[in-house]
Structure 1
Amino acid sequence: MKRRIWNRIRQEFGLWSLAAPPGIIVLIVMIFIRLLGGMQSWEWMLLDTMLRLRPQEQPDERIVIVGIDEKDIEWVKQYPVPDVKIAELLSKLETYQPLAIGLDIFKNVPVEPGAQQLAQILRTNSQIIGIEKILPPEETAPPPSLPQERVGFVDLPHDQDGKNRRYLLYTANPKNPEDEDKYSLALQLVIKYLDAKKISLDTGIRDPNTIMIRGVELPRIHKNFGSYVGVDDGGLYIVMNFRNNPQPFTVVSLRDVISGKVDGELLRDRIILVGNRNLSAGDIFYTSALPKVKLSGQIYGIDYHAHVISQILSTVIDQRPMLHTWDDAGEYAWIVIWGFLPLVIGRITQSAWKNLLSVGLAIFCLLSFGYLMLSVWGIWIPIVPNLLILVINGLGLSAFAFYQHDQFLRSQISERQNTIQHTFTVIHNGPLQTLAYGLKHIRARDIPYEQLIAQFEKLDKEIRELGEFLKLEALTKEEILRLGSGVILELNRPLHDLLYEVYSSTLERNDFEYFQTLKVKVRNFDPIDDKYLSREDKRGICLFLEEALCNVGKHAQGVKRVQASGIYSENTYKLSVKDNGCGIQSKRESKGTKNFKILAKQLGGEFHRESISPRGTLCELSWKLSQNNS
C-alpha cells in the first residue's frame, strides 16, 4: 500500500516537473512585467470600469456647487466675470451661513470693476478659501488679500494615460521646504467643515505620513501602490473614489444665487464651492470612472474637488471606504496563487472543453471577487496579471503541456496493455493449446508415453521460440506477428495475403483433434486497400481469424466442413468462420470473445458469434472501411 502511494507521488511529481515549468515561467514573466510597470495602463482601465459599474449612490447634500456657466456669462455680459459680481455672490452666500466657501477662481489679478470690494470681502470673511498653483511649470499666486492659512492649491496630477485618478492633499512647500506644508483646496475646506463639527485632525499611527480623522487613517499612495510603480509619493496623495451618481452634488448658478432664487436652507451649514463650469475657462480634467457624465470622459475642476471633499467626509462620517490596497507581499502572494490555479485546473481537467469551462469560471470568479472587494470594502486588488496568467496558462501552455504529457502517459499505458494483450494472445494460440492438448491426453491416458513426451518437448520449444520472438519484436522496427503455429508474418503485406497465411498455417496444426475430422476446407478473402487499416488493426484481424479457427479445432466436435471468408461489399468488410460442428455448448463469455468485442469497437464495427441451423457455429467480425480506421 505504501509503495503504491509513493509510486503515485513520484509519478505526480514527475508529471508536474515536466508540465508545470512553462506555466511557472509565464507567472514569473508576468510578475517581472508588473514590477516594471508594464501593466499600469490596463489595471487603470479596469479600475475605472469597475468604479463606473458600481451601484448608484445617493447625492452628497453636504456640498453645494455654485457653477458659473455659459448663461451666467451672458447674464453678466463680461468674461472673465468681474470682481464686483464675485463680491456680490460671496456677500449673498455669507448671509446663508455656510460652514466653508471655496473660491475656485484665480484672483491674483484684479478684474475690474469691484477689485477693492472683493479684496475687502476676502479679508473679512474667515470662511472663504482661495486658490493657488504651486507646482511648476504653471505656478499661480493666491489672492493677495488672503492670508496663507486660507489658501489651498489646486494642482491636479494626471497619470501617464492623461486620466486623473489621484489627488494631492498636502505637500512640502516646493519653494522653501522649511516652511509649513501646503494644503489643497479640498483639504482646507474639509478642515473648516470638521472644525465647525468639533472634529480634529491627527497624525496617522500606522502611517505617520498620513492624516487620521476620528481614528480613520486616510490611505496614502506610496511609491508602489496597487498598479502604480515608481509613482511620485512626495506628499499625501490619495486615489479618487468618485461618488457614483449622475448628479452627485447640488449645482446652482451664479445668477440664481444673486437673484435670490435659491432656497437659503439649501446652502446653510454646507461646504460651498464657487467656480467655473463652462468650457471657456478650460478647467477640465479627464476620467473614465464616472458613468453618464455631461461631458464624455471629462469633469470640471470644481466637481473634481467636490468629489475629494465628499470621499473624505464620507469615510470619516459615513464609513464609506476610501480606496486602498494590500501591501506588496500580499499582492504578489495573491498573483502567485492565481498563477498556480491554471496549472491545477490543467492537471485536474485534462480535457479541452472542461479546461475551457473551468478557466472561464475562474475568470468570472476573479472579476467578481475583484469587483466585490472594490465596491464593498474599497480594496483595489491585482486582477489584470491574474487574467493574463489564466488566459495564457489556463487556455494555452500549461493546460496543453499537462494534456500532452497525460496523453503520452496514457499512450504508454495503452501500449503496455496492448503488448500484454498481444503476448497473451500469442501464448494462448500457441503454447497453451499444446499444453491443453497434453493435459487432456494425460487425464484420458489414451496416447503412448513417448508421444506425450514429444508433446511437452514441443511445448518447451514453442515457449523458447516465443521468448526469442518477443525479444526480436521489441528490438526491431518492423511490424511482425507470430502465430501459434510458429509462423511469423510481416504485417506490411496486404491483408488478404495475411489471412490466407493464417488460415493455412492454423489448419495444418496437429494439436487440435477436431481438425483431423475435416473433409471440406473453404477459404476466400477479398482484397481491400490497406490504407484503411493500421498495422495494429491488421494484427488484431489476423489474431481474430486464428482464434476463430482454433476454436473450431478445440470445440467443434464432429466437424466435417469449415469455411473462412472475407467479403467486401458496400464499403463493409465481413470476415467470418463457419463450421458444421456441434455448435455453441456454453453461454459463458470467454476471454477470446471479450477480445473480439474490443477489436470490433476499435475498428468501429461489430462482432457476433452464434449457433446456426441445423448445426454449427458462425463467428463473424465486420467493419466499414473509412479513414477513421487508418
Structure 2
Amino acid sequence: MRRRIWNRITQEFGLWSVAAPPGILVLVLVILIRIVGGMQSLEWMFLDTMLRLRPPEKPDERVVIVGIDEKDIEWVKQYPVPDGKIAELLTKLETYKPLAIGLDIFKNVPVEPGGEQLAKVWQENTNIINIEKILPPAEISPPQKLPPKQIGFVDLFNDADSKTRRYLLYTTNPKNDKDDKYSLALQLVNRYFTTKGIELKNGKSDPNTIMIQGIELPRITDNFGGYVGINDGGGGMSILMNFRNNYQPFHVISLRDILNDKNKKVYAKLLRDRIVLVGNRNLSVGDIFYTSALPRLQLKGQIYGVDYHAHVISQILSTVIDGRPMLHSWEDMGEYTWIVIWGFLPIIIGRLTQSVWRNLFSVCLAGVCLFSYGYVMLWLWGLWIPVAPSLIILAVNGVGLSAFAFYQHDKFLRSQINERQNTIQHTFTVIHNGPLQTLAYGLKHMRAQDVPYEQLLGQFEKLDREIREIGEFLKLETLTKEESLRLGSGLILELNRPLHDLLYEVYSSTLERHDFEYFKTLKVKIRNFEPIDDKYLTMEQKREICLFLEEALCNVGKHAQGVKRVQATSVYAENKYKLCVKDNGSGIQSKLENKGTKHSKLLARQLGGEFRRESLFPRGTICELSWKPTKEV
C-alpha cells in the first residue's frame, strides 16, 4: 500500500516534493556552518580568485615607491642603511617637491653615522611621515620628539590562512583611549587631500567610517562579507584590500638612482606632487606579506610591505578621484537572503526539469552564472557577495538531487516490474479459481454427456460472464491500487476491512459456488475465524491470505471425492496465527506439487511462517498456513 502511495506521489509531483526536505536541510546546514565561521577560508579563496581574474588596470601615477633592494645594499655596503644615507635620500626627494613622503623603515634607534642629520631633515620637512607599531605583541616606538601628525602605524592583520586582506586605517591608542592612532597610509592620504583643500570627515550613514568629498569608505564590520566575528584591533576602522591589478602597479625607483642623480629630468616629472613611499624591497628584511589576490607576483604569492601600503593609498585616491569602487558587502540579512534564494534554486530546477541529465546541466549552468555574477559584481561595483556557500548548496543539492533521481527512477522501474508480476499472478489466480473451474466443469460433463445440452450451455454462458467480469475488475484494480479483491465467485471485497471478516466472506462465497461438484456432497460445514490483529499485515499480504483460503476451499470442491465435512478455522496459538482448512475426502491423490502449492509456500516465506498440506488418517486432507506477527507495517 505504501509503495503504491509513494509511486502515486512521485508520478503526480515528481522528485521535487521528496527531494525538497533534504535540500532544505543542506541549506540550513550550510548557513549554520557559515554562521560559526566554517566557510571563511573558502570564501576568501573565491574572493582572491575573482580579484586575480580581473582585467589589468593602468598603473597609478600618484604613488611612487623608492625601494631599497639588494643591489642598493651592496652599493651602500652597509645594512641597515645608515641614517646619513636615509637623510641624503629624503633631502634629494624633497628637491622634486612631492606632496608627502612615507618612510616605511623603523628609525626609533639611530643607525650612525647621520642620526642627527636625519632628525634635522624630519624637523625641516613636516610632510615626511615616519612609522611605528602599536599593537601587541610587537610594539615598536617611533622616533622621539616627532609630533603625532608625522607618525603613522604599520600594523597589519593576517587572516587564518596567513594571507593579508585587510588594512587598519585608524584605531584607539592602546596607551591613551582619548587619542586615536592613524596608519601610515591614512596619514599620507590626509596630506594629499589637505593640499587639495579637501577635508576628511566622519561618515553620515556610518559615523565610525571616514567620508571624503561625500564618499564614505566602507569599513569592515564584525560580520563583513565572508568574515565572521572579525577583530579590527579594538575600536578602529579596517578596509578590505582592493589591489590594483597590474604586474607593475606603481613606478619603482632604487635608492642608488636617486642618490646618483640619475634621470633627474624624468624624476622631476615623476615625483612632483606625488605620494612617495620609501621602504625595503629586499628579502633580507622580512617585510613581506602573503596574498593570492594578485597575478604574476615577482615573489610568487608574496608582496613587500611598502607595496602593500602603496595599494591602500592608491585604492582610496582612486575611489575618491576616479570613482573606482572599494570593496564592500551586503548586510547580514541581504547575504543570507541571497544564500537562501540560491539554496532553493536546485530544488526548483529539479521540479521544473524532471530529468536527471537536464537537472545536472541546469545546475552546472547555474553554478557558472553564480560565479560570473559574483565576479562581475566584484569587478564593476566592488560588491563582495556570498559565492562559496551558494555554490556548495548548488553542488550538493544539484548532484544529490540527480543521484536521488537516478535512485528513484531505478526504484520506480523495479516497483513497476514487481507490480506487473503481482498483477499477472493475481490475474492467474482469479482466472484459475473462476473461469477455469467453470470451463473444467463444462468440459468434463460434455465429454461424459451426462447432463442436458441446456445445462451445458448455461455453464458456458456463465464462463462468458466470468471472463467479462474479470476484464471489468482489472480496470477497477488499476484505479483502486490494490484496495479490493475479486474472488472467483465474482464477489469483490474491500481489503481495508478486518481480516477475519474477509475470511468469512471468502468462505461463504466459495462454498456457494455450483461449479465444484464435490461441494454438493457436503453435509457439515464448520467455520471459526478468530479476530486477527492485521496491523502487522500489508494490504497485499491480506490479499494473499484471502486467496490462500479460496484456493484451499476450491481444492476441496475439485479433488475431495466423497467429502462430507469441511472445517475452516483461524486461531492464535503458541504465538502463531494458524489458518487451516480440513476435509474428510479421499485425501491427496498425487504427489506432484502444483502451482497453488508453490504459491502458498512463497506466501509462507514472505510472512516468515510455514505451510503444510498433507493427507489425514484414515481419510481427509489438511491445508494450513501459519505465521508469527512481526513489526507493524
Does TM, scored on the shorter chain, surpass 0.5?
Answer: yes
Show the 5 A alignment for 1:93-132: 93-132=93-132
Question: In 2 relative to 1, CA 320–9 (structure 1 residues): closer, same or farther, beyond 3 Å?
Answer: farther
- Spell out, residue by residue over 1:74-129, the C-alpha distance to the aligned partner (whole angstroms, 9 max, x if none): 22121111111111111111111111110111111111111111111101212111
Question: In 2 relative to 1, CA 422–463 (structure 1 residues): closer, same or farther, beyond 3 Å?
Answer: farther
Question: Which of 544, 568, 571 is the matching residue for 1:476?
Answer: 544
- Residue identity (%): 62
- Spell out, residue by residue over 1:221-249, the C-alpha distance to the aligned partner (whole angstroms, 9 max, x if none): 11111111111033101111111111000
**Retained in 2: the 8 A contact 1:284–1:301?**
yes
**Retained in 2: the 8 A contact 1:220–1:238?**
yes
- The amino acid across from 1:400 in the alignment is A
Question: Which of 454, 461, 464 is the matching residue for 1:459?
Answer: 464
> Where in structure 2 are there 5+ consecutive unaligned residues?
1-7, 439-452, 474-485, 494-505, 507-539, 549-553, 556-633
Please name the residue that 1:573 is paired with.
none
Show the 5 A alignment for 1:137-152: 137-152=137-152
Question: Which of 400, 416, 425 is the matching residue for 2:403?
Answer: 400
**Retained in 2: the 8 A contact 1:158–1:164?**
yes
Deviation at 1:15, TM superposition (A): 5.5
- The amino acid across from 2:487 in the alignment is E
Please name the residue that 2:391 is paired with.
387
Deviation at 1:354, TM superposition (A): 2.4
Q: Does 1:236 align with 2:237?
A: yes
Q: Does 1:290 align with 2:294?
A: yes
- Spell out, residue by residue over 1:534-553, the C-alpha distance to the aligned partner (whole angstroms, 9 max, x if none): xxxxxxxxxxxxxxxxxxxx
- Give SS of 1:164's match: coil
**Retained in 1: the 8 A contact 2:356–2:405?**
no
How does the TM-score come out when normalised to structure 2? 0.66
- Spell out, residue by residue over 1:254-289, the C-alpha distance to the aligned partner (whole angstroms, 9 max, x if none): 111122114211110100001111112211111111
**Retained in 2: the 8 A contact 1:350–1:406?**
no
Question: 246-255 vs 77-86, which deviates more?
Answer: 77-86
**Retained in 2: the 8 A contact 1:347–1:403?**
no
The 1-side partners of 2:45 and 2:73 are apart by 36
Question: 238-247 vs 416-425, which deviates more?
Answer: 416-425
The 2-side partners of 1:479 and 1:420 are apart by 13
Show the 5 A alignment for 1:2-21: 16-21=16-21
Deviation at 1:415, TM superposition (A): 7.7
**Retained in 1: the 8 A contact 2:430–2:487?**
no
- The amino acid across from 1:150 in the alignment is Q
- Give SS of 1:272's match: strand
Question: 87-96 vs 339-348, which deviates more?
Answer: 339-348
Q: Does 1:222 align with 2:221?
A: yes
Please name the residue that 1:276 is paired with.
280
The 1-side partners of 2:320 and 2:466 are apart by 96
Please name the residue that 1:372 is paired with.
376
Please name the residue that 1:87 is paired with.
87
The 2-side partners of 1:115 and 1:296 are apart by 36
Please name the residue that 1:166 is paired with.
166
Please name the residue that 1:303 is paired with.
307
The 1-side partners of 2:32 and 2:316 are apart by 35
Deviation at 1:12, TM superposition (A): 5.7
Question: In 2 relative to 1, CA 477–407 (structure 1 residues): closer, same or farther, beyond 3 Å?
Answer: farther
The 2-side partners of 1:176 and 1:213 are apart by 27
Show the 5 A alignment for 1:310-349: 310-349=314-353
- Spell out, residue by residue over 1:418-477, the C-alpha distance to the aligned partner (whole angstroms, 9 max, x if none): 99999999999x99xx9xxxxxxxxxxxxx999976654443354567742597999239
The 2-side partners of 1:114 and 1:478 are apart by 111
Question: 251-260 vs 55-64, which deviates more?
Answer: 251-260
Please name the residue that 1:250 is paired with.
251
The 1-side partners of 2:68 and 2:277 are apart by 11
- Give SS of 1:285's match: strand
Question: 82-91 vs 12-21, which deviates more?
Answer: 12-21
Question: In 2 relative to 1, CA 191–419 (structure 1 residues): closer, same or farther, beyond 3 Å?
Answer: same
**Retained in 2: the 8 A contact 1:243–1:311?**
yes
- The amino acid across from 2:366 in the alignment is A
Deviation at 1:71, TM superposition (A): 1.4
- The amino acid across from 1:202 in the alignment is K
The 1-side partners of 2:135 and 2:378 are apart by 31
- The amino acid across from 1:22 in the alignment is P
**Retained in 2: the 8 A contact 1:350–1:403?**
no
- Give SS of 1:281's match: coil
- The amino acid across from 1:244 in the alignment is N
- The amino acid across from 1:148 in the alignment is P
The 2-side partners of 1:301 and 1:117 are apart by 26
- The amino acid across from 1:167 in the alignment is Y
- Give SS of 1:280's match: coil
Deviation at 1:352, TM superposition (A): 3.3
- Give SS of 1:97's match: coil
The 2-side partners of 1:322 and 1:477 are apart by 77
- Considering only aligned residues, what root-mean-square deviation do their CA atoms show, in Å? 3.5
**Retained in 1: the 8 A contact 2:60–2:249?**
yes
- Give SS of 2:383's match: coil
The 2-side partners of 1:457 and 1:110 are apart by 122
Question: Which of 347, 352, 358 is the matching residue for 2:362?
Answer: 358
How does the TM-score come out when normalised to structure 1? 0.67
**Retained in 2: the 8 A contact 1:70–1:278?**
yes
Please name the residue that 1:511 is paired with.
none
Please name the residue that 2:200 is paired with.
201
- Give SS of 2:357's match: helix
The 2-side partners of 1:365 and 1:380 are apart by 15
Please name the residue that 1:40 is paired with.
40
Deviation at 1:301, TM superposition (A): 0.5
The 1-side partners of 2:228 and 2:20 are apart by 29
**Retained in 1: the 8 A contact 2:14–2:354?**
no
- Spell out, residue by residue over 1:132-157, the C-alpha distance to the aligned partner (whole angstroms, 9 max, x if none): 11001111111114211111000011
**Retained in 2: the 8 A contact 1:106–1:142?**
yes
The 1-side partners of 2:138 and 2:454 are apart by 119
The 2-side partners of 1:477 and 1:69 are apart by 94
Deviation at 1:404, TM superposition (A): 4.1
Deviation at 1:9, TM superposition (A): 10
- The amino acid across from 1:326 in the alignment is W
The 2-side partners of 1:73 and 1:12 are apart by 79
> Where in structure 1 are there 5+ consecutive unaligned residues?
1-7, 435-447, 481-485, 488-630
- Spell out, residue by residue over 1:161-219, the C-alpha distance to the aligned partner (whole angstroms, 9 max, x if none): 111110000000011112x2100000000000011112221111111110111121111
**Retained in 2: the 8 A contact 1:19–1:405?**
no
